[in-house]
Amino acid sequence: MMRFDVITLFPDMFCAIKDEGVVARGIKKSLLEIHTWQLRDYSDNKYRNVDDKPYGGGAGMVMQVKPIRSCIEQIKQKNPSSKIIYLSPQGQKLTHQLAIEISKLESVTLLCGRYEGVDERVIEHDVDLEVSIGDYVISGGELAAMVLIDSVSRHVPGVLGNVESLNDSFANGLLDYPHYTRPEIIDGQQVPEVLLSGHQANIDAWREDQSLKSTKKKRQDLIKK
């Protein structure tokens, strides 16, 4: 059983993964738990603010230490060993390998940034690991947290069905081979002959070759030295 706690200003966004798909099935099978925490509940004022102006001036607002620390403290009361991960552009890039590593943890707390992000003292004192999903601007850490939860959950034993796990094509670090389904011909486009041959060894060899060719052509960077 793997447990995710998520600290966010937008807990409702997480119904996108809680209600549908692989993660939802993992929850139904009691292999995963996702708990969201509304950061505003840990505000210390009646307006429920959790942000303030940046020291040194400049645009935007910064998420304050106090509400985040109070929320983490509450989460750690039940799960003292939970690793705190801050989703941020400064983080270590999320890869297949890192997803596997994170899936070995029993309990993970994901901190989602908004505005200009969190006060640096949270990162220094409270965060165990910073993770980034890629180099582009996004408006909040929530989508990144959902990407992480999805990619990590797939590696929790039992979450994927047998069929899905067999098709974990990235296991060899290469791009997938092309896929075809019925009909055999559509608008003059044919399914490659070998896939209809019933000769499994030939099919496997063809797919391996297609994977390698596609990776060399489209993603040279994925080819191991």
Shortest Cβ 75–ligand 4FN spacing (Å): 19
Which of 20, 33, 168, 176 does the annotation list as catalytic? 168
**Is 192 near ligand 4FN (CB under 6 A)?**
no
Distance, in Å, from the CA atom of 110 to the CA atom of 143, rounded to the nearest integer, reads 11
**Residue 12 appears among annotated catalytic residues:** no
Other Cβ atoms within 10 Å of 147 Cβ, number: 17
Could you say whether residue 26 binds ligand 4FN (CB under 6 A)?
no
Q: Binding mask 140-159 vs ligand 4FN (x if CB under 6 A, - otherwise)?
A: xx--x---------------
Alpha-helical segments (H) within 104-181: 120-125, 141-153, 162-166
**Is there binding between residue 137 and ligand 4FN (CB under 6 A)?**
yes
User: Measured from the CB of residue 87, what is the shortest distance to ligand 4FN in angstroms?
Assistant: 4
Instruction: Please confirm, yes or no, whether 54 is among the known catalytic residues.
Output: no
Cα dist. 53→3, 6, 62 in Å?
34, 24, 6
Each residue 86-125 as x (binds ligand 4FN by CB under 6 A) or -, in order, gives -xxx-----------------------xxxxx--------
Binding residue (CB under 6 A) for ligand 4FN from 23, 122, 133, 174: 133
Angle at 22 between CA 19 and CA 23, to 5 degrees: 60
Task: Pick the catalytic residue from 89, 130, 150, 207.
Answer: 89
Per CB under 6 A, residues contacting ligand 4FN are: 87-89, 113-117, 132-141, 144
Active site residues: 89, 116, 154, 168
